[in-house]
Structure 1
Amino acid sequence: MNLNERNSAILDALLSNPSISSALIEKKFGLSKRQLGYSIQKINSWLKQLSLPLIERTSQGQFLIDEKVFTALNHVKETAEQNHSSILTVRQRTHLLLCMLISKDYLTLDHFSIALHISRNTILRDLKNLQKQLEPFQLHIRYGRKLGYYIEGNEFQLRKALMSTLIEFLESDNILPELIDVLELKEDCLYSFRDRIEQVEKKLSIKFTDEKMKTMPLTLFLILQRIRKGARLTDPPISYKELAGTKEYQAAEELLFDQEGLPEAEKLFITLHLLSANVVTTEMKEEDAIPDLYPAVDSMLSLFEKVTCIRMQERKQLLHKLMQHIKPAYYRIKYNLTDTTPVPGVLNGEFRSLHQLVKRSLEPLELFIESEIPENEQIYITLLIGGWIRQQGESIGEKVKAIVVCPQGVSVSKLMFHELSGLFPEFIFLDSMSVREFITYDLEYDIVFSPVLLETSRKLFITKTVLDTHEKRLLRKQVLSYIHGFVSKEVRTSDIIQIISNHATVKNKEALEKELQAYLTQVDEHVVKTTSDETQQQQLCDFLINQHLKMAYQIGSWEDAVRSCAGSLLDKGNIEPRYIDAMIKSCEKDPYIVIGPGIAIPHASPEDGVVRTGMSLLKIKNGVQYLGYRIHILVVIAAKDKKEHIHALMQLMKLSKSEADLKKLIDASGIPDMRRIIQQYSDDVVKEKEFYYG
């Protein structure tokens, strides 16, 4: 009689901590009193077979274990270690099962049981666990009398599952001999493949990571084994044009010199495997680079520097390091080869905040790849950048970290975030979020901006969603006073010229003043109203042209009003019909789109059918009922990206705060009158380009 997995674990827990109570054992293993009693009976039956004293329990729930048990079982453990036997985890066993299913034919429960030294019942449980692991790859474990156990599904997906499994499985020390033994492999074959891969390294002037050198020989061996058995790729999603001209394609042909009649699709798959493998060093030449990848990585790094207010030293070397990682990542992402196994425990402390900022900087790279960057790839980029920052002695931990919490919907929240990060460029703004998201937010921050009162142990600044120039000036003074204990004075060029004149002769005061002003403007980027990026954006009047303005005396329902307002955008091809349905659905229960007395901004997500950014306005003299509000002005917003409409939205928000001008807009007798008010708010914002020093 042998102990099962659970009873062995309970016995180990008792031997490790004899003073542990029954209650703690029950809690640790999720057992009832009756189940624990049954397990102790089984353990005692096993001890009796070994002629060892039984484990007793006191009335207080403590365990009494004889010293002979400790001595005997420790001896058994030492003997097992000397014989190099290993106890595999459930995860490791499922990895072994997958490798067996991929490489062997006609497998039964007995085959698995003998190979892994466990019972048939345990094998059945492990096969269920393996099936869960295979679900993301749309693979299924089947059984047939003639075929035994086998995996059914797309061959490309099966190979992805194999590569993912080997990466995780071979991370454990000394596990390779176990795999070689179970698969009955010849070590000479693996060493031969390792030699071939080292020749590939020399040809390509690269060094693969240790992890890749561990997994690649085995991966290639098992894949070629499958190909020889007739398991070929059918219609793989690999671009011949993109891969066939690479140096890796030539290297793949040399690697497979003895594989006659290998289909082109299989050569391309091996090429892709080489291209997507991580390297520790590479001599990257211009002709080997992916066109336009370098500018995309450069833009990503520039955006990161802007977001974090950190200027990278030795920037070219960092770009080279990033390219070294991102080039193979490009192929992994494009062909969905990224390992989905989470990277555990690497983003602690400051790196967690850094990761949030890296995620906000990835847009240029995602636009280039035309795909979101998977979480694991994001983490590796964070580790690269974070390691470089630490090497420079920089730290985002030393910078003020802020968040923005707004209960008024996504667009308003982003608007607040945009304005405040412009007002405080020396701070790191981590996130904008709703109140519900804030309750569970777990990143470290120093200050929080919000239009509503929040429960927080950090400094809270209550602020409006939209601030005029004077209000911004006051808020900046208030925040800097809290952070630094003082507010810097305004720097005047006239004062600087006077100081210079006291000690030197100034030949041309006017030219000197002009140069000083330009320099101070460049150095101090505390822009109160707009940044250079914003000045290029379209104004409210650019979006709300005559064709996008409508008037009605009365309208039947809220839904009719939204459809009528969006009509001009639909006619001009800015939106698809489904965008209107999405708007109506998204604001059925939440009045966050009401931004002022009688004015609302219906909108939905870009993926709901936005073709290009646009706005349209409907004025209803008599108003329309919406969730307890009487709405007279509807402005439908269709935003294709996160930036293009923000400037115009700021202007609209400012208009929404003026009851007098809103009333003028509602009372307007025609489109020209409406345009004059819209133009007035567009012009006002353009004029407010004031630079603020403290």
Structure 2
Amino acid sequence: MQLDRRSNNLLKEVLTNPQIKSISLESKYELSRRQISYSFEKINHWLLTKNLPPINRNRQGMFLIEPILIETLLSKQENNAMKELVLTEETRIQIILLMMISQIDETLSLNHFTHALDVSKNTVLHDIKQAQLIIQEDDLTIHYSRKAGYYIEGEEFFIRKLLVHLINRLLFVQNKQLFLSEIMRLSNQELVEMTLRVERIENQLNLKFTDEKIDALPFSLIIILKRIRAGMFIGDLPVKHDELTYTKEWQAVYELFDETEHIPDSERVFFTLHLLITNIYWSDLHKQDIVPSLMIAINEMLTKFEKYACMVIKDRDQLINKLLIHVKPAYYRIKFELTDIDQLHQPVGAEFSELQHLVKKAITPLAQLIGQDIPDHEITYLSMLIGGWLARQGEHLNKKIKAVIVCPKGVSVSKMMDSVLKEIFPEFVFLDSLSVREFYQFQLDYDIVFSLIHLETDRKVFIVKSFPEKEEKLWLRQQVMGYLYGYSNDVINVEELINVIEKDATILNKTNLTKRIYSFINQQGTSTPLLTEEEPTPHLAELIPATNITLRKNIKSWNEAIRVTAQPLLRKGAITHQYVDAVIEHCQEDPYIVIGDGLAIPHASPENGVLHVGMSLLRIEEGVTFAHDYSIKIIILIAALDKHQHFKALTELLKLAGTRADLLKIKQAKVKKEITDTFKKYQQL
């Protein structure tokens, strides 16, 4: 068993200062009484595992320390973090590389590594060979001489890039701060001072870095400064001095240096870039320096996404602000090829693949602004943000079970967790998504917590995955409902219940009815509703059967074309006349509905009269004029009820739109079957 950093610090404090009182600890470490008590419960449990007496307190709040504790713990240093770890080969290699980069004032020999890793010299030599294979991709080389010992040679930029990567990876081990400080030979005072500097930078920039970055930055910044003071300067960077001097980060960098310290401008550029690419979870955008044209590019991207997804995004300005929080650091990561520092480690479930595909189609304005293709993992982050926003559209929360979400991984993963958990628990009120620091300062009352990591709290915490599969979602719901209501294993299949109701009644809003059924079941407290496997989303050929196709030689106007296209959906009760009027009005504001040569996909927001998902097609042999610039021969009217059901069909339609030969077949089709056969080809792609 290991002590966490907080408990370890508290133990050291009371051993070196037995007269200190609980209230003084609360003030010094900015902890609540509950957190202090919880930490000492863990300390006493750890002491018992060492066959040592526990620490007690008297009525005055003073700690009662047995002399054997001071003698044993302070003299033998039982809390050594390295010795309690069983290291994998991958971790050993990372430690060796980090020691070479950080311990520049040491002449590192095999003995240094064998002592630190507690392995044989042969094992260390093997690990060094493997380490060389890893770093040679960046033209870095491990050298050894009797005078200099082991060290890494190569461009300083890539050495620092490796440093940041290693710190990020090793932060996942237990007791991470103590572990890293031992590897890098850093004192607690150095780390505290640098952490305070980073927090001052946060205040100056009016933002908050993610928990992972606030942990990592002090380590990387201290070592980089040490390397600079040892004369290890950065070479030419892919960014010019003038490109960054306008940013607030350029000014904030001065917080990192001593007033009398001379730092070359090239190093200030590097530190500015280091801050700019660091993930944040909150920012006051009104006080931020936004990259010129970045907001315009995001707005154009959303316009394209609306076109491809056939959705109207509500509260668009708010979503743009949310995207800016992620896109600003991503802009610099991509532009200067630093994206491998912040990779997404857990794959997104298959159910998001179609959404991600549409985001990738729409992302061209951002790629053009940056001048490079957007990496897939950055597209995944943007897809999660947009998907989470769409999931919340039109949702009305009632005060029922109150929950909070805790995610240390930043805004993108946090927003995805929010979307997934609201899907699993549509009847809950999710008060907020919080970082770990925010969680311990959160003032509102709540019933349960969903978190990626263990938390010290007296409320029930459910540990969840960032992207649970369907079986895991079902298991989680059963566990939570069992805790809240004491449910038996009896299961109600809500989807089948909805299907039964549909046989004898018209359901105007299936989503709202589903939520009401969940709420009713929860109030009765007798059964657990079953989150069933979603029905397969329909293909294009299934959404546009022959009965939904109309063939005309000519037509008088665009508005008439829309009304003719809508007739099959009106007859089948998929849409109302109000929706047709809304589509006509929306087309006047949106010229981007043309997605291919002579192909347009008009649509409007679901609340304007979509009753269930559907598509209909009008083929006009002679074409009809749209927006003065287009001759449209194929109109596909889309009625989208939610964010999932039509995505597969849309994906197929977008592929068809880029295939001139198949578009020509539809334009020249004599019978409807020729069109439906063309659609069926795309089911196999």
Higher relative contact order (CA 8 A, sep 6+): 2
Name which one, 1 or 2, has greater alpha-carbon Rg.
1
TM-score normalised to structure 1 length? 0.49
